Amino acid sequence: MATPLTAARVLAALRAEGVTVVEVGNWRTHNRAGHGAWGPVAGVVVHHTVTSGTAASVAICRDGYAGLPGPLCHGVIDKQGVVHLVGWGRANHAGKGDGDVLAAVAAEKALPTPNENDTDGNVHFYGFECINLGDGKDPWPDAQLEGMVRACAALCRAHGWSAGSVIGHKEWTNTKTDPRGFTMAGFRARVAARLRTAPGTTTPTTPPQEDDVPNPMMLNESNATDVELPPGKWVGLAFADPVLHSGPRLHHTLVHVTLDAAAPDDALVEGRFYLTDTAGKHPSAFQTVTRYGGGGHQFALSGTVPAGKHLRFELRAKTSDATSLTLLHRTATGPYWQTP
């Protein structure tokens, strides 16, 4: 038996195993503390929910119901194999079971058939609720089974346990039938096979989420050709390409312009980002910002450029004596992310 993993540790272990994780609300601190012990832990209990639909199943497992307060497990595993973490710490999932089974799991020996319910399993087991009606007809998609295998393997690997530490609820107590639709012996064989590979060495069924935010690409454009800004006229700023970003894209963009320092201090310098279609037509979503005088000015915009749209920038100058200003230099820089 072992000290339970921290929330941070289990999250890292799941992700290292290639599991896609959804963190639900305050799962790290949502538990049944004060209603019994949590730990030492001996293994993992696999359940079926007798529900359908991810949102409804996650809500029930997080909140519980009249007579059985949540969390009803640590993670809900949906039909795609995504693990929705709903709680961490003591959870209402295993209930009473056979102390002889606990001893066998702790020793990773063959399981006796449970025939008494004398031991609080919520102390000693992690629990995954897997979305299935439990009627023997609702299918178990391979993506879901693979997510279940990896989730169990992640905990076993973190503790140095074998697949013998993974049991079905029906193996814990003679009052339950879950999980129904596959054999626990076959499931354990699959967990054992998984544990023989290093995490991440086989193609995950869902993309690994090593980081929440992928590394950005960088916009880095500059142009030092002089441009005359006729008074009161918007002038598009050309770099190598007048288009700063083509959607779909998430971006943080900084445009820096340098005007002739001899420009009068009361000269009005307006810059604006705007969207067009890919033909440069139908401009919209202007973001006009005002500066004064010559020298350097910066204009920043963060946001999303939708698919089929281009982001551009233009500049307008006005002087009290209606003379032109000269734009000497401009740069456009910043990180961006292609979005699906």
Contact footprint for Zn ion (CB under 5 A): 47, 169, 178
Write the DSSP symbol of residue 164. Answer: G
- Sequence-distant (6+) residues with CB within 8 A of 211 are none
Cβ distance to Zn ion smaller for residue 86 or 255: 86
Structure tokens at 222: 């500059």
C-beta of 120: minimal distance to Zn ion in Å? 15
CB of 45 to Zn ion, least distance (A): 7
Residue number with CB closer to Zn ion (84 or 272):
84
* Residue number with CB closer to Zn ion (35 or 233): 35
Q: Report the nearest approach of Zn ion to the CB of residue 68 (Å).
A: 11
Q: What per-residue string of b and e applies to 303-326 under the rule 16 or more CB within 10 Å gives b? A: bebeeebbbbbbbbbebeeeeebe
Q: Where are the beta strands (DSSP E) in 55-213?
A: 64-65, 68-69, 75-77, 83-85, 96-97, 119-120, 125-130, 166-168
| Cβ distance to Zn ion smaller for residue 151 or 255 | 151
Considering beta carbons, is residue 81 or 121 the nearer one to Zn ion? 121
Q: How far is the CB of 94 from Zn ion (least distance, A)?
A: 7
Residue 47 beta carbon to Zn ion: minimum distance, rounded to whole angstroms: 3
Q: Tokens for 212, please give them.
A: 């929440």
Number of helical (H) and strand (E) elements in the chain, helices listed first: 7, 20
Other beta carbons within 10 angstroms of residue 127's beta carbon come to 22
